[in-house]
Amino acid sequence: MALIPYGFARPFLFGLDPEHAHELTLGSIARLQNTPAQCAWAQARVADPVTVAGLKFPNRIGLAAGLDKNGRCIDGLGAMGFGFIEVGTVTPKAQPGNDKPRMFRLPARQALINRLGFNNEGLDAFIANVKRSHSFRHHGGLLGLNIGKNAVTPIERAVDDYLIGLEGVFPHADYITVNISSPNTKNLRQLQSDEALDALLGPLQARRLALQDASGRQVPLFVKIAPDLDEHQVAVIAASLKRHGIDGVIATNTTIAREAVQGLPHAGETGGLSGAPVFEASNRVIRLLRAALGSGYPIIGVGGVLSGEDARAKLQAGADLVQLYTGLIYKGPALVPECARAMARL
């Protein structure tokens, strides 16, 4: 168990601006990881090994991309007991993201709205951070690296940015995620349409195969999709994933829907809504994907997991692995082993 209960830290953090609290927390973890102070939040990893997409995961609970965009805290976050960590989204060039304020809490619904906009320090700094991490992977943890496009890159040239990202992160990733579902980069979700998705996945898969042949390393490629998709759209995406030989899918990113938070402070803010309100929408997409892709196709479920029961529901909907983000902010590190234990019992 963590030596400092999150319940003591949360009131202080929730008294700060959300982005300030986020940066303060990550900055502290970055400074203290791999030191004796890490015992303040370190937890034993629940052993529940499972093989997905050819990779042996120590357990089925992971951290979703977006929390550690620059890969500064891989070892420190991994010490919470995660079986896998996904960092990013990283873009080829550094960019500041959207104007502040751009992150908002909705505590009544255990939710967040963010419109950060892929703010990150760029590919070179990201890779340097990844290379500095060591203890998490040394102890068997797996690392996913999430790539996106720069805001100034026209959507018609998006594939260029994704190819740069793929080549840059390939030598350092256990798996790579192609993020085409953030609502906070203009027109990005257009890449989920049939023709645009084919035009993106074809070159990415060709380059990935060439990199694998040259290196002798097999690095699975995942695609992260949105919850705001109808049954036909999910079916089109599933068919494209299979057609291009993509290894897996992550469902889902944040939602632009607001029905579940109407009338609450900040509910009208633009951006992606995460946390409890996206739970059912995410599960719906997972069920549709499983029906379309059949058994055995890797699906990582993410969205609204705030308890072990929620994590089990993701597996029951059809996911193989589960990721946390907003739940970690509301519930703290104890949520990680709670979810891992719950899924190990299935």
Q: Give the residue numbers annotated as catalytic, written as ranges.
A: 182
CA 17/CA 42 separation, integer angstroms: 26
Contact 135, 75 (CB under 8 A): yes
Contact 141, 83 (CB under 8 A): yes
Tokens of 339: 């979810």
Which of these, 101, 103, 100, lies nearest to 111 by C-alpha position?
Answer: 103
Beta bridge partners of 301: 251, 322
Instruction: Count how many residues are written for the chain.
Output: 346
Which phi and psi angles does 264 have, rounded to 5°? Answer: -85, 150
Which phi and psi angles does 26 have, rounded to 5°? Answer: -65, -40
Which of these, 84, 143, 82, lies nearest to 339 by C-alpha position?
Answer: 82
Contact 243, 206 (CB under 8 A): no
The span from the first CA to the last CA of the chain, in angstroms, equals 23
State the alpha helices, DSSP H only, in the chain. Answer: 6-14, 18-32, 74-78, 123-132, 135-138, 158-169, 194-215, 231-243, 279-293, 308-317, 326-331, 335-344
Contact 288, 267 (CB under 8 A): no
CA 171/CA 166 separation, integer angstroms: 9
Contact 198, 269 (CB under 8 A): no
State the angle between helix axes of 18-32 and 6-14 in degrees (0 to 180), rounded to the nearest 10. 140
